Each structure stands twice: as structure tokens, then as C-alpha cells.
């Protein structure tokens, strides 16, 4: 397996494979960039088909974190850690401690937080072996669950997108198809429902779909049916690469804006195809930056306690950032993905203020 030859390698500074015999830990830490500061990114614990799939995932995710931090204007770079394991069966305090020691060995180049398969409680476990942790419970000095901040940023981004594409001031009366009812998807549904949107939802966990039907009056559909659901907005909030050659022809929504990472299977090609079809795409690493912003504010706090007003201000600013990206894409005749990348690249050429 060639790391350097992968298209997802994308000039990473450091890729570390780590293994621990006693706990069975198999993990990869990818540090994409520390140009603007230490690399931050979540700890993902997930079953992968093979090591190649895990490597591709961690490389794409860490690169996305670099651009996410750059566009959000925080003094950090991008990284990610994936642990190849079943979080329901294999995750133990010993496994987490081994992961934490691997992070500690990097000496602060990478700082981790909650992600798919890990929890706020897991971050507390990591704190016993490393200080390079964000999002631990508030009683342990952290800022806790980032999902509400991510969902709020997505809601502000959706509002900006429907204003730009549909000429609507808010989501009231719009139909939004939400794919995935995890922590981010559920919190986003709550905000959308409070804003007067009509919801169509899907998840591989039928109990969550049923709960959303009761809680929000949502219409539940089978996972594969969400792509073709009639909607004004398609909001992917599950795993990545859901907009691909197979699903793109099925999509009917004129706006794609959601919380998942790496929503486009091929960012450049599918970004152009969406533009050609008249679909407005909110680049994932811009719209879903709310949790990262919360962690960044936590990490740079000078004293105890988190300035939640500052978190709220920065997260709500995601809407304005996206509006600028949409305008720039229109003026230049390029996909929104290219406009967002250009902003990120410009910021990566200079140190943050």
C-alpha cells in the first residue's frame, strides 16, 4: 500500500500508523497542516473494510479540517485520528488510553476531540494520559458535546443558502430532507422544526426515524429513498461521499447543505456537476465548522470557563461566510467548492492574526 501515491495524500505533513498489542489498537493519525497552528480534528472509531479504506478516510478528513480551520479563521491546522475498531464492541478504557498515548507522543502537533464512534466521556478517559484533548465534559474543564454548535452552524448555513438560491428569508414553509439522525442531524432537525420547516428524514436506525416522526412531525423514508425525496434542501448529516455518480441524478433539491464531512465523492468533478445542474452546494467544511469553532475557542481560552457568547458569535458567522462564498462563486463562474478552496488557500499562505 503506497501512502504517497494516494490522491488523498494531498501533501500531508505527517501520517502515523500506531499499534498496541495489549489492547489491539490499530490506528492512523494524519496531520495535514500545522501552518496556522497545531492540527485539530476528531478521534473517529469505526469498522473499516480494510486498512486502505481507513487510510483514505483519515487523509480526506484531515485535509478537510485544514480548510475548515482556515476558512473559519481560527489559529489551527487540520488533523484526524481513526481507530480501526467496532465502537460498540471493542472500545474499552484501555484502548482509549493507548490511543491517548499515541496522541501524547506527537507532543502537541495534533489535538483531538469527539467524532464518529467517540463520545464526550471518551475524551475524559483520554485526559488521563494526554492533555491534547478538546471537548471533555465541562466538569473536567472541557466544553462538552460539540454537536449543538455544529447543528447551529448548519442551520445558519441553510438559511444563507435558501436566501441566495431561493430568495427566501428563512426556512419557514420549506421542505428539508435530513439524512442521518445522529447528534448533529437530530439537533439540526430541532432547529429546522422550530424555524417552521417541513422535514423528511432517514436513518439506518428505524427507532430514530420513528422518534423524529413523533417529535418533529417528520415524514420518515427508507435510507435509499432520501435522495429522491421531494425537497427544497437536501441536508446530508451521516457519513461522507453520499453525493456521487449514482445518487446525484436522483437528487431533486436545488440546495445541498448539511453536516456530514466530505459529502461529495469527488469534490472537483461533482462540485462542477452540481453547478451545471443549478444546485447550490454549501461546502461541507464551511457549513459544519461549528463544533470545530467551539473546540478552537476552548483551546485558546486564557482562563477557566468557556466564552459561550464568543462561540455563538463565531458559529452564527458561518452564514455570512457562506453568503460570501456563494457570491464569489457566482461572480467568477466557478463551483462553490472552488471558491471555498481559494479562500482557504489564501489563508494558508500567511499566519493567522
Q: Are 45 and 119 in contact (CB under 8 A)?
A: no
Q: Identify the three-state secondary structure at position 322.
A: helix
Return d(Cα 188, Cα 280) in angstroms, integer: 19
Instruction: Cell numbers for 188, please give them.
Output: 439540526
How far apart are alpha carbons 66 and 289 in whole angstroms? 11
Cα–Cα distance for residue pair 253/232, rounded to 1 Å: 5
Task: Show which residues are catalytic.
Answer: 80
**Residue of 159, 162, 154, 155 lying closest to 279 (CA atoms):** 162
> Are 43 and 118 contacting, i.e. CB atoms less than 8 angstroms apart?
yes
Closest CA to 235 of 191, 291, 295, 294: 191
Amino acid at each position: 500500500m503506497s501512502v504517497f501515491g494516494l490522491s488523498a495524500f494531498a501533501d500531508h505533513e505527517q501520517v502515523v500508523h500506531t499499534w498496541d498489542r495489549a489492547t489491539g489498537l490499530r490506528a492512523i493519525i494524519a496531520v495535514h497542516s500545522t501552518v496556522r497552528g497545531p492540527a485539530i480534528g476528531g478521534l473517529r472509531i469505526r469498522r473499516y473494510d480494510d486498512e486502505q479504506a481507513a487510510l483514505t478516510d483519515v487523509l480526506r478528513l484531515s485535509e478537510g479540517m485544514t480548510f475548515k480551520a482556515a476558512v473559519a479563521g481560527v489559529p489551527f491546522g487540520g488533523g484526524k485520528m481513526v481507530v480501526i475498531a467496532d465502537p460498540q464492541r471493542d472500545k474499552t478504557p484501555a484502548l482509549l488510553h493507548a490511543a491517548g498515548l499515541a496522541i501524547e507522543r506527537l507532543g502537541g502537533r495534533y489535538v483531538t476531540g469527539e467524532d464518529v464512534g467517540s463520545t464526550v466521556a471518551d475524551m475524559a478517559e483520554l485526559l488521563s494520559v494526554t492533555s491534547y484533548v478538546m471537548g471533555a465534559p465541562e466538569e473536567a474543564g472541557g466544553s462538552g458535546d460539540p454537536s449543538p454548535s455544529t447543528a447551529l452552524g448548519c442551520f445558519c448555513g441553510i438559511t444563507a443558502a435558501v436566501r441566495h438560491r431561493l430568495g427566501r428569508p428563512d426556512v419557514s414553509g420549506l421542505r428539508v430532507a435530513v439524512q442521518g439522525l445522529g447528534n448533529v442531524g437530530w439537533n439540526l432537525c430541532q432547529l429546522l422544526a422550530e424555524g417552521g420547516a417541513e422535514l423528511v428524514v432517514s436513518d439506518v436506525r428505524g427507532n430514530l426515524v420513528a422518534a423524529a416522526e413523533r417529535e418533529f412531525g417528520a415524514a420518515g423514508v427508507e435510507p435509499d429513498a432520501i435522495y429522491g425525496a421531494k425537497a427544497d434542501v437536501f441536508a446530508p448529516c451521516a457519513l461522507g461521499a453520499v453525493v456521487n455518480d449514482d445518487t446525484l441524478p436522483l437528487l431533486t433539491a436545488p440546495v445541498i447543505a448539511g453536516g456530514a464531512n466530505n459529502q461529495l465523492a469527488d469534490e472537483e468533478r461533482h462540485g462542477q456537476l452540481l453547478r451545471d445542474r443549478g444546485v447550490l452546494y454549501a461546502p461541507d467544511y464551511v457549513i459544519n465548522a461549528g463544533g470545530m469553532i467551539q473546540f478552537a475557542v476552548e483551546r485558546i481560552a486564557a482562563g477557566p470557563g468557556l466564552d459561550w457568547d464568543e462561540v455563538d458569535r463565531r458559529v452564527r458567522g458561518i452564514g455570512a461566510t457562506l453568503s460570501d462564498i456563494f457570491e464569489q462563486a457566482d461572480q467568477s463562474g466557478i463551483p462553490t467548492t472552488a471558491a471555498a478552496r481559494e479562500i482557504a488557500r489564501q489563508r494558508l499562505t500567511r499566519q493567522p492574526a
